[in-house]
Amino acid sequence: MAANIKSLIRLHEWNVDEKRRKLGELLRLQAELINQIKRLDEEHIREKEAATLDPTGAGITYPNYAHHVRQRRANLQGSIEQMEIVIGHARNELQEAYQELKKYETVEKGRLRRYELEQARREQILLDEVALNQHRRKVKARAG
């Protein structure tokens, strides 16, 4: 029984670790999307300044560029929103896996506690028996 619980604990620890890795990867991907938006915004500002400085050259193509930037930003923002949903699910999965692990760890902890109590009880019985035998010998030695 103890080996089964320990195996289950190891399995659930592995499961929790996998869910943590998955969540970490999702958070990293979300951060990358956010960074892409920041870089896109910075690039857009530079292009806008360039268009203002050169209205005949860059200024002519700027409206088309700005339209593509808005579309790209909207796509990235949509991806971030989708990632938030996926991250929420991943967090829930991690929480459930962690709770399941804690159940098995609690069972194992209770089993170990009961084992320790039983060992202490047996030891106390043995010590009581030794003390009782010593007491009997003393009584016998006085009487005899």
pLDDT at residue 144, rounded to an integer: 66
Task: Domain count for the chain, please give it.
Answer: 1
Domain annotation covers residue 136: no
Domain annotation covers residue 25: yes
The amino acid present at 101, given as its one-letter code, is L
Domain annotation covers residue 63: yes
pTM of the prediction? Answer: 0.73
Q: Which of 102, 98, 100, 94 is nearest to 23 (CA)?
A: 94
Q: What is the pLDDT of residues 83-117, one digit of tens each?
A: 999 999 999 999 999 999 999 999 999 999 999 99
pLDDT at residue 13, rounded to an integer: 96
Domain annotation covers residue 23: yes
Give mean pLDDT, residues 113-141: 93
Which residues form the domain of 12? 2-101
Q: What is the pLDDT of residues 1-42, one digit of tens each?
A: 678 889 999 999 999 999 999 999 999 999 999 999 999 999
The amino acid present at 55, given as its one-letter code, is P
